[in-house]
């Protein structure tokens, strides 16, 4: 997702409930959801609805009971059927007793009939005729019972009853819409698995729907559907600009990371209650009102490779989502306006981090929690700006061709594609592709808070042979005790105006380099191109 730049978020529900548990003994194959949302579109727009969820799953080890996540603040469980015999809903967990013991590997279905209360829970939104959902990180369990963890992807069929004039959209493709008794029954279905936090639905009778198609690069005979759900009063110029640029964006990122990996892409305008700039729900991006901005669209589109196709193994790996999406905004700038624009974009991200550093690291094991603290995990300075800057420095360290080979290898890896990846999966793959030890890079930048602060000292003197000798010392003075090793560049400017670039490696603190020059050096600039973008120099 992308944080709205002008909004301070209040996380209403964070901390209200004890941490939820996840049933790792089940592997969900499919959620078959049915919602009756008719009333939520009609004055006074209640948030209450009735629904059912038929869950198909496999048990890993023999079991007579399963556990799903279902927040009591939002959901009332009415009954269960299928292979379910009885249930117990407590502490945000729905425990379902099965009709017998099921053996390891057996597949079964349970159906849960439930209702959503007339309560606002920052996951299900119904205001003045618009309905939408927003689920990252732990919101899905507020609008349907599920195994709410990013690393159990499943297929989805979602059917909803809405008033006859409502345009309704969800994850995947529209397979059916039937009009009956002033109601429309929409059915959307995926042919690619999805994580619960990326499932979404939305509807309104105010949407202006435009549908286009985009031909895939690798299979020009195959095309994907593009859907725009805009609203009256939005800036037409911006929507038209996205209409024009989206095929270019799809082409650029398909060339870099493989063909756009899903069956459709939709962009949809929500309302003023939407807390983010955008949210990358799989095949259904939700946007804040009048937010058809290129950077935001690029960010949410790129999440379809990094976040949606390859989802984080746990919330501790969030930098693989937000760092990559934010970094690729700079790639879009590079594509449009060249390398200088790319650098400028990242330098801006680095500045945002350096002036708003909350003082924690990009990666924290504690975030490996099915219900993490969103306010920390989605801190804009660290999770977006710092992480994008780290990827910029990875490209600097590896060089363009190895860096993009690593990114391509990651995006096309059969183990991660349409599955999940962890921070170490990405780091190990980069080591494998580059043939270099990169543990130092990922450890120093991801596992530690802060950044290096350099104190540079140098002295030149003329030697008896007429040459100039310079002792150049690099000291790191940051308060955290981490030493950041990096390849460094120095630009020597001589008194005659000529310059020379020296490349060295900064491997330990108080490292002194002895240079010899034929002519008098006037000035030596440290990191003149600002490649170590996360730093301060005294």
* Integer Rg of the chain from CA: 26
HEC string for 19-68:
CCCCCCCEEEEEEEEEEECHHHHCCCCCCCEEEEEEEEEEECCCEEEEEE
Closest distance to Zn ion from the beta carbon of 165 (Å): 33
- 172 vs 277, which CB is nearer to Zn ion? 277
Closest distance to Zn ion from the beta carbon of 379 (Å): 13
- 132 vs 324, which CB is nearer to Zn ion? 324
Stretch that binds Zn ion, among 1-9, 35-43, 168-176, 189-197 (CB under 5 A): 1-9
264-269 and 284-287 beta bridge pairing = parallel
- 1 vs 77, which CB is nearer to Zn ion? 1
Closest distance to Zn ion from the beta carbon of 318 (Å): 9
Cα–Cα distance, 10 to 12 (Å, whole number): 6
- 161 vs 304, which CB is nearer to Zn ion? 304
- 129 vs 323, which CB is nearer to Zn ion? 323
Contact between 156 and 172 under an 8 Å Cβ cutoff? The reply is yes
> How many degrees, rounded to 5, is the angle at CA 104 between CA 98 and CA 110?
30
Closest distance to Zn ion from the beta carbon of 320 (Å): 11
- 2 vs 291, which CB is nearer to Zn ion? 2
486-494 and 499-506 beta bridge pairing = antiparallel
Cα–Cα distance, 281 to 301 (Å, whole number): 10
Closest distance to Zn ion from the beta carbon of 123 (Å): 18
Closest distance to Zn ion from the beta carbon of 277 (Å): 9
Cα dihedral 483→488→494→498 (10° resolution): -160
Cα–Cα distance, 95 to 89 (Å, whole number): 6
- 1 vs 397, which CB is nearer to Zn ion? 1
Contact pattern for Zn ion over residues 318 through 357, marking x by CB under 5 A: ----x--x--------------------------------
Tell me the CA distances in angstroms from 445 to 285, 368, 375, 452, one per residue in order: 30, 19, 21, 10
1 binds Zn ion (CB under 5 A): yes
Closest distance to Zn ion from the beta carbon of 1 (Å): 5
Closest distance to Zn ion from the beta carbon of 328 (Å): 10
Closest distance to Zn ion from the beta carbon of 242 (Å): 17
- 382 vs 433, which CB is nearer to Zn ion? 382
Per CB under 5 A, which of residues 2..31 are in contact with Zn ion?
2
β-pair partners for 183: 163, 180
- 34 vs 322, which CB is nearer to Zn ion? 322
- 1 vs 393, which CB is nearer to Zn ion? 1
Size of the site for Zn ion (CB under 5 A): 4
Contact pattern for Zn ion over residues 270 through 309, marking x by CB under 5 A: ----------------------------------------
Rounded to a whole number, what is the largest CA-CA distance in the chain?
Answer: 100
Contact between 20 and 371 under an 8 Å Cβ cutoff? The reply is yes
Reference 427, options 416, 438, 414; nearest CA is 438
> How many degrees, rounded to 5, is the angle at CA 452 between CA 446 and CA 454?
165
- 145 vs 323, which CB is nearer to Zn ion? 323
Q: How many residues does the chain have?
A: 538
Closest distance to Zn ion from the beta carbon of 367 (Å): 16
Closest distance to Zn ion from the beta carbon of 148 (Å): 19
108 binds Zn ion (CB under 5 A): no
Per CB under 5 A, which of residues 476..495 are in contact with Zn ion?
none
Closest distance to Zn ion from the beta carbon of 35 (Å): 26
CA 347 to chain centre: 21
Sheet (strand 223-230) strand order: 2-3, 276-279, 284-287, 264-269, 223-230, 208-215
Contact between 103 and 41 under an 8 Å Cβ cutoff? The reply is no
Reference 187, options 200, 197, 172, 165; nearest CA is 172
Could you list the beta-strand ranges (E) of 60-207. Answer: 63-69, 75-82, 84-90, 93-102, 107-116, 124-127, 130-133, 155-163, 167-170, 173-180, 183-189, 201-204
Per CB under 5 A, which of residues 437..476 are in contact with Zn ion?
none
Cα–Cα distance, 259 to 244 (Å, whole number): 19
- 1 vs 427, which CB is nearer to Zn ion? 1
Per CB under 5 A, which of residues 306..325 are in contact with Zn ion?
322, 325
Contacts with Zn ion by CB under 5 A lie at 1-2, 322, 325
């Amino acid at each position: 997702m992308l944080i709205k730049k002008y909004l301070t978020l209040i996380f209403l529900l964070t901390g209200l409930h004890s941490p939820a548990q996840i049933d790792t003994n089940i592997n969900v194959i499919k959620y078959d959801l049915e919602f009756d949302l008719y009333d939520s579109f009609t004055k006074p727009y209640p948030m209450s609805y009735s629904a059912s969820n038929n869950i198909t799953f496999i048990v890993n080890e023999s079991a007579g009971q399963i556990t799903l996540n279902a927040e009591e603040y939002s959901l009332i469980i009415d009954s269960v059927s299928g292979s379910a015999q009885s249930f117990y809903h407590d502490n945000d967990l729905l425990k379902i007793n099965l009709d017998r013991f099921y053996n390891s590997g057996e597949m079964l279905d349970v159906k849960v009939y439930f209702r959503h209360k007339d309560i606002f829970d920052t996951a299900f939104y119904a205001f003045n005729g618009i309905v939408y959902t927003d689920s990252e990180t732990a919101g899905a369990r507020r609008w349907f019972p599920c195994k709410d963890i990013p690393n159990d992807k499943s297929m989805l069929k979602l059917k909803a009853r809405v008033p006859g004039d409502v345009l309704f959209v969800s994850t995947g493709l529209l397979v059916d819409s039937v009009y009956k008794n002033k109601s429309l029954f929409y059915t959307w279905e995926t042919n690619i698995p999805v994580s619960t936090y990326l499932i979404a639905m939305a509807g309104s009778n105010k949407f202006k729907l435009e549908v286009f198609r985009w031909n895939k690069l690798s299979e020009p005979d195959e095309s994907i559907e593009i859907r725009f759900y805009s609203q009256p009063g939005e800036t037409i110029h911006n929507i038209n600009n996205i209409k024009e640029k989206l095929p270019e964006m799809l082409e650029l990122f398909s060339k870099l990371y493989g063909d756009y990996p899903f069956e459709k892409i939709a962009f949809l305008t929500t309302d003023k209650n939407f807390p983010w700039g955008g949210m990358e729900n799989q095949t259904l991006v939700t946007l804040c009102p009048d937010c058809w901005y290129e950077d935001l669209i690029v960010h949410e589109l790129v999440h379809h490779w990094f976040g949606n196709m390859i989802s984080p193994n746990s919330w501790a790996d969030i930098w693989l989502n937000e760092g990559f999406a934010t970094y690729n905004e700079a790639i879009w700038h590079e594509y449009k306006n060249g390398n200088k624009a790319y650098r400028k974009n990242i330098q801006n991200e680095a500045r945002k981090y350096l002036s708003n550093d909350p003082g924690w690291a990009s990666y924290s094991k504690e975030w490996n929690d099915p219900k993490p603290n969103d306010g920390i995990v989605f801190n804009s300075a660290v999770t977006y700006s710092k992480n994008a800057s780290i990827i910029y420095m990875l490209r600097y360290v590896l060089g363009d061709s190895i860096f993009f080979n690593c990114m391509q290898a990651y995006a096309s890896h059969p183990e991660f594609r349409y599955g999940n990846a962890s921070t170490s999966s990405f780091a190990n793959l980069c080591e494998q592709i580059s043939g270099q030890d990169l543990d130092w890079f990922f450890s120093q930048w991801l596992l530690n808070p802060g950044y290096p602060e350099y104190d540079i000292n140098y002295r030149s003197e003329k030697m008896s042979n007429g040459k100039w000798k310079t002792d150049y010392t690099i000291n790191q003075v940051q308060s955290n005790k981490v030493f950041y090793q990096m390849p460094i560049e120095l630009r020597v400017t001589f008194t005659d105006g000529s310059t020379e670039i020296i490349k060295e490696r900064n491997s330990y603190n108080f490292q002194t380099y002895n240079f010899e020059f034929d002519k008098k050096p006037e000035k030596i600039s440290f990191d003149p191109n600002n490649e170590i973008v996360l730093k301060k120099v005294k």
